[in-house]
A and B are shown apart, each in its own frame.
Chain A
Amino acid sequence: MTALQRVLAAFASGFALLALIFDFASTEGAPLPVWEFPLVGVFLVLGVLSLVRFRVKISYWVDGVLAAIGAVGLVLALETLQQAEPGYWFALVASWLFAWLFAERLALAIARDEVPDAVGVLIPAIFGVAILVAWEAITRGGNVPKVLLPSPSGIWETLIGNIPRIAADFQQTFLKAVLAGYALGCGAGFLVAIAVDRSPFLKRGLLPLGNFISALPLIGIAPIMVMWFGFDWPSKAAVVVIMTFFPMLVNTVAGLNAAGHMERDLMRTYASGYWSTLFKLRLPAAAPFIFNALKINSTLALIGAIVAEFFGTPIVGMGFRISSEIGKLNVEMVWAEIAVAALAGSVFYWVVALIERAVTFWHPSVRGGRA
């Protein structure tokens, strides 16, 4: 065991012991001892007993199972208890520490090639689940006001209960504004880059400017676009076009220069003209740069469309819903919209990344296994 693991193990068992000693929870002022929650009790006792690890070797899977029992028990306990007392929080910390210890030992085992690399996906998953469990436990066990932070289960219920509204918002913002703006902005940036590429003078003049402009807070253009193109989705698409244009322009121009002299000379010896060199050599060589812009733009587009809706919109759309529900302090609905936006943003990003892997299969970063 490494020093860190020893510390983690000692603290995890220590917190489990503390949880057994202190008051666990209460309902209407009456204390609820830990024995009312058998799963948590089992977790805590086993957690304390795991101290034998300093004598006998215990598999890291035991730590994982312990953390899981603790997490499930603590979330189930939320159904009956009204107010969590120190014991509950100690148990939560203990469960966190066991999860951390498990991740720590698993990562080490993977590094030593004792477990296949694919198991590594577990580690970020554990982290995500641990965050959700802690969030749920803190908001419900600690009775955090909903306005401040609603619980994940509450957000989920709101999401399920309002699917038609959220679907309409999603259609308005994502399917109309984001996709249209993204396609137009990226397409325009791409075409202009190819046009600019033929003139070294323009390239020298436009590239630094484009670089500078893509660092500007272009989102501020949103009110002007709303004025020009009206309240409906075209104005949002226009904001997205402007925000995505410059990263695409700059990256494509940089990418078109990525083909080496050797390759270009080879194309010359083949008597290849401008267009066939462009399509057979320079554009494929530029693909990693172009996909880089496409990935950056996938998040920019969503941000642009949502923020533009703060400046005026018909009564549908994710940005509109966020700003109007926050006015009513209906925070669970806001979080539900955010969850949908986050999911849409991530899926959008991963789709672009997947296409990149398929298209730039020859690139070292894709070819070389873990890269």
Chain B
Amino acid sequence: MTTASESLCMSFARLTMRNVVKPTGSLVPILIVVAALIVVWYVAAVLMNWQGMSDFYQRTDVTGVSFNQQLNDVLNAEKPLLPAPHQIVGEFWKTTVEQAVTSKRSLVYHGWITLSATLLGFAMGTVFGIGLAAFIVHNQAMDRSLMPWIIASQTIPILAIAPMVIVVLNAVGISGLIPKALISTYLSFFPVVVGMVKGFRSPESIQLDLMRTYNAARFQVFTKLRWPIALPYLFTSMKVGVAASLVGAIVGELPAGTSNGIGARLLAGSYYGQTIQIWSALLAAALLAGALIALVGLAERLTNQRLGARA
């Protein structure tokens, strides 16, 4: 089992490496690809909704609709199979800017509910992950007994039991933020543990030997050598962790009964066939994920500056 766990650590390191090495000067290609995707989206939206609109005309005995008229109707349908981008953005605008943020119809309100659970879970997961990694690095038995189970814990589709965790905790009177945050914690601690175990182990033996010659205590070695050297690993695993944390919070909002949060919006949208609402909730989730990852990236840059690292 050790070998497999190590290989997962390795693949994780590869994953983080991939995030570190960013291709430079790729803004123009990205924009062009995005533009192409939007065009494809419009074409797909028209193709997918065309038949539905024709059926609608037949049902309501409307005849002699011109091509342009039908195209216009298709792109502004109320419950299209695939809404066009402008409809999604329009709905998003309507539910964020034009609604009071305290309103239940405001995406900002629902986004905040999800975000607070995400952040709480992420914070707990990160602290827990760092603590566990510190234990594992300092104790052979911990390493051998915990690591395989930590790896195995992630092959369990934990998200599938998220609704049960919510319902059961509700049954004992714990409701609201905490259950969702716990699921986020579970999802986000893993990348942090794996990354930080690697990070805490990354000092070279020559550096550890130097600390020995200074007669440094274990705690001093930890704070003065292992911790600073592990910081890059921390930030890359936090980027993975914060994304996982958001997924956890959203899935935690799925069980019936919760009516707040992005996950609840998704569920409500799917019940009532409100495709535009689903897509705008997805857009909100995507923006949240992007913002959270960017924030971690910002924290990383600031920390690096403080530490005097070369950019």
Interface residues of A (CB under 8 A from B): 4, 100, 103-104, 106-108, 110-111, 120-121, 123-124, 126-128, 147-149, 201-209, 211-212, 215-217, 219-224, 226-228, 250-251, 254, 288-289, 291-292, 295-296, 298-299, 302-303, 306-307, 310-312, 318-319, 322-323, 326, 329, 331, 334, 338, 341-342, 345-346, 348-350, 353, 356, 365-366, 370-371
Contacts of A334 in B (CB 8 A): 161, 164
Cβ–Cβ contact A220 & B250, under 8 A: yes
CB within 8 Å: A-B pair count? 204
Q: Is B68 an interface residue (CB 8 A)?
A: no
Closest 3 CB pairs of A and B: A223-B270, A205-B29, A205-B33
In the complex, A208 Cα to B14 Cα: how many Å? 16
Mark contacts of B95-126 with chain A using CB atoms, 8 A cut-off: 1 yes-contact digit, 0 otherwise. 00000000000000000000000000000000
Report the separation of the CA atoms of residues A209 and B22 in the bound assembly, to the nearest whole angstrom.
12
Judged by a CB distance under 8 angstroms, whether B247 is at the interface is yes
Chain A residues within 8 Å of B155, by CB: 298-299, 342, 345-346, 348-349
B135 to chain A, nearest CB (A): 12
Across the interface, do B160 and A124 meet the contact criterion of CB distance under 8 Å?
no
Chain B residue at smallest Cβ distance from A364: B10
Tell me whether A223 and B269 are in contact in the complex, defined as CB-CB below 8 angstroms, given that A201-B29, A205-B33, A292-B14 are known contacts: yes
B223 within 8 A of A: no
A326–B30 touching, CB < 8 Å: no
* Main SS at interface, chain A: helix
A302 to B161, CA, bound (A): 12
A108-B140 in contact (CB<8A): yes
B74 within 8 A of A: no
24 CB-based A-B contacts, threshold 8 Å: A104-B140, A104-B141, A106-B141, A110-B140, A111-B140, A126-B145, A148-B168, A149-B168, A202-B29, A211-B18, A215-B239, A223-B278, A224-B279, A292-B11, A299-B155, A310-B163, A322-B164, A326-B163, A329-B171, A331-B164, A334-B161, A341-B157, A342-B157, A371-B6
Query: What separation, in Å, do the CA atoms of A203 and B11 have in the docked complex?
Result: 22
Task: Tell me the B134-181 residues at the A interface (CB within 8 Å).
Answer: 139-141, 143-149, 152, 154-161, 163-164, 167-168, 171-172
Per-residue interface assignment for chain B, residues 249 to 262, with 1 indicating a CB less than 8 Å from any chain A CB and 0 otherwise: 01100110000001
Instruction: Report Cα–Cα, A338/B267, bound state, in Å.
Output: 22
**B26 an interface residue at 8 Å Cβ cutoff?**
yes
Q: Are A204's CB and B285's CB within 8 A?
A: no
Q: Which of B23, B157, B247 contacts A302 (CB 8 A)?
A: B157
Complex alpha-carbon distance, A151 and B3, angstroms = 32
A101 to chain B, nearest CB (A): 9
The one of B18, B143, B148, B270 in contact with A312, judged by C-beta atoms closer than 8 angstroms, is: B270
**Which residue of A103, A216, A326 is within 8 Å of B289 (Cβ)?**
A216
Task: Select B140's contact among A107, A206, A226, beta carbons within 8 Å.
Answer: A107
- What's the nearest-Cβ distance from chain A to residue B119, in Å? 15
Contact assessment for A208 and B275 in the assembled complex, using a CB-CB cutoff below 8 Å:
no
From 210 to 251 in chain B, residues with beta carbon under 8 angstroms from any chain A beta carbon are 239-240, 243, 246-247, 250-251
Contacts A107-B141, A220-B282, A331-B164 given; does A289 touch B14 at CB 8 Å: yes
Contact A219 B247 (CB under 8 A): yes
- Interface size class on chain B is 35 or more
Q: Is the CB of B154 within 8 A of A299?
A: yes
Chain A residues near B144: list those with CB within 8 A. 103, 107, 110, 120, 123-124
* Contacting pair A217 B34 (CB below 8 A): no
Determine whether the beta carbon of B270 is less than 8 Å from that of A227: yes
Q: How far is the CB of B9 from chain A (nearest CB, A)?
A: 10
Expressed in whole angstroms, the Cα–Cα distance for A366 and B3 within the complex equals 8
Complex CA gap A349/B157 in Å reads: 12
Task: Point out the residues of chain A lying under 8 angstroms from B275, CB to CB.
Answer: 224, 227
CB distance from A255 to the nearest CB of B (A): 9
Most buried by A among B32, B159, B267, B275: B159
Are B270's CB and A208's CB within 8 A? no
CA distance A106 to B140 in the complex (A): 10
CA distance A302 to B285 in the complex (A): 22
Is B207 on the interface with A (CB-CB < 8 A)?
no
Which residues of chain A are near B145, meaning CB under 8 Å?
Answer: 103, 107, 123-124, 126-127
Q: Chain B nearest CB: distance from A55 CB in Å?
A: 24
Interface assignment of B7: CB less than 8 Å from any CB of chain A: yes
| Closest chain B CB from A205 CB (angstroms) | 3
Shortest Cβ distance from residue A119 to the other chain B in the assembled complex, whole angstroms:
10
- Bound CA–CA A303/B23 (angstroms): 31
Q: What is the CB-to-nearest-CB distance from B81 to chain A, in angstroms, rounded to a whole number?
A: 7
- Chain B residues contacting A303 (CB-CB under 8 Å) are 157-160
Cβ contacts under 8 Å, B270 to chain A: 223-224, 226-227, 311-312
- Which residues on the A side are within 8 Å of B81 (C-beta)? 227-228
